[in-house]
Structure 1
Amino acid sequence: MIYPVVAYGDPILRKPTRFIEKDELDLKKLSDDMFETMYSANGVGLAAPQIGLNVRIFVVDATPFSEKEEDDEDEDVDLSLADFKKTFINPEILEESGKEWAFEEGCLSIPGIRGDVYRPEKLVIRYRDTDWNEYTEEYSGMAARIIQHEYDHLLGKLFVDYLPTLKKQLIKKRLSDIMKGNVDADYRMKFPGRK
């Protein structure tokens, strides 16, 4: 099932999520639906609040970052991202470390807006999978960044919160337009300012 993506301005995107109880949800179905929704919007990550659910789960598939464009011979390609497809249930970042580095981020809930966000290069995260197995793993580079971006959604934070004040002022009207549904997105969205 493909869910509409919740747009910027909806209160659910600012609400910290709650932990999921074992056997509370059909986690495999929810995970599959989240991947299907993410793929339909050409995303690399999707968190539950972005489909209107206040639970602690996100999915990631970084395959697009591992693929080399035919005309992009000079680009560095991270082959470790080729198999980085996971569901993170009840994740908790235990540690972040390393030098902060910038990368231009975007968000399916905020179409058409991008901005440089600085994040630590490494993290250690504990989470469960759809079979309720628990893992503690370390990630770095782009994998860590994708996790940090999606994890922020579970805390009620968005990438625009990290932007410098001037950049925030420059995008204020565009954010307001998104809230009203005055934006082009090539996937279904649910707007807080539109019935």
Structure 2
Amino acid sequence: MILEVVQYGHPVLRQKGARIEHITPEIRRLIEDMLETMYEYQGVGLAAQQVGHALQLTVVDVREATDRPSSLEINGQPADLAAHMPMVLINPVVTPLGPPETGPEGCLSFPEIYGDITRPGLVEVEALDREGRPVKFRCGGLLSRAIQHEVDHLNGILFIDRMNAETRERLRPELEQMRFETQAALARKKK
């Protein structure tokens, strides 16, 4: 089922996600719905907060982004990226390894808003997969950027928080309008 992607101004986007202790049928359904939603909106990642659930759960699939390469290493060996997509990461922990790199980012919760964000170029990720099995890998390029972006969501951090002041100031009118419209829509739903 395709879920509603909440937009900037919705309070759930600022909530830290709860750890997932058990892979329940509800969690399995949410994973499938999140994947379907991510593909429908042509995203490379989606966090549970973006569909209204404050949980430590994200899905990522960078296969379609052929213009922005990714690297993946498992047990110190290069791994076939496509064979590990889509990724489901539960309770992920990201450790920065590489020097900072600046690159463009967008977000499904911020339609038509883009900015250059600086993040470590290489990271190590530890998480549980959709079956609750531990996974550990290193990644670079777009995969690294996408995972860091989604893990930020799981901690209530938005990509606008990582923009430089000049970019944030330039985007302020659009951001204020989006927040106002989202909050007005939420107020109407409560009536």
TM norm structure 2: 0.86
CA distance in 1, matches of 2:56, 2:69: 31
Structure 1 equivalent of residue 143 of structure 2 = 143
- Counterpart residue identity of residue 28, structure 1: R
CA distance in 2, matches of 1:40, 1:192: 24
CA distance in 2, matches of 1:52, 1:20: 15
Q: Is the 8 A contact 1:125 1:137 kept in 2?
A: yes
1:192 has 2:183 as partner: yes
CA distance in 1, matches of 2:3, 2:158: 20
- Counterpart residue identity of residue 103, structure 1: G
- Counterpart residue identity of residue 92, structure 1: V
Change (3 A) 1:176 1:20: same
Per-residue deviation at 1:96?
Answer: 0.5
Q: Is the 8 A contact 2:91 2:127 kept in 1?
A: yes
Per-residue deviation at 1:148?
Answer: 0.4
Structure 2 equivalent of residue 90 of structure 1 = 91
Give the percent of matched residue pairs that are identical in Structure 1 and Structure 2: 34
Segments of 5+ residues of structure 1 without an aligned counterpart are 67-74, 182-190
Q: Give the count of matched residue pairs.
A: 177
Let me know the Cα RMSD of the aligned residues.
1.8
Describe the superposition over 1:62-90 as per-residue Cα deviations: whole angstroms up to 9, x where unpaired: 01213xxxxxxxx6755854443210011
SS in 1 for 2:65: helix
Segments of 5+ residues of structure 2 without an aligned counterpart are 72-79
Q: Is the 8 A contact 1:123 1:138 kept in 2?
A: yes
CA distance in 1, matches of 2:87, 2:159: 21
TM norm structure 1: 0.84
User: Could you list the runs of 4 or more consecutive aligned residues of structure 1 that deviate by over 2 angstroms after TM superposition?
Assistant: 23-28, 75-84
Describe the superposition over 1:89-112 as per-residue Cα deviations: whole angstroms up to 9, x where unpaired: 11112x211121111100000011
CA distance in 2, matches of 1:164, 1:34: 30
Q: Is the 8 A contact 1:6 1:52 kept in 2?
A: yes
Q: Within 5 A, what are the aligned runs for 1:1-195? A: 1-66=1-66, 81-83=81-83, 84-93=85-94, 95-181=95-181, 191-194=182-185, 195=188
Q: Which moved more, 1:19-28 or 1:3-12?
A: 19-28
Per-residue deviation at 1:60?
Answer: 0.6
CA distance in 2, matches of 1:53, 1:99: 32
Q: Is the 8 A contact 1:65 1:81 kept in 2?
A: no
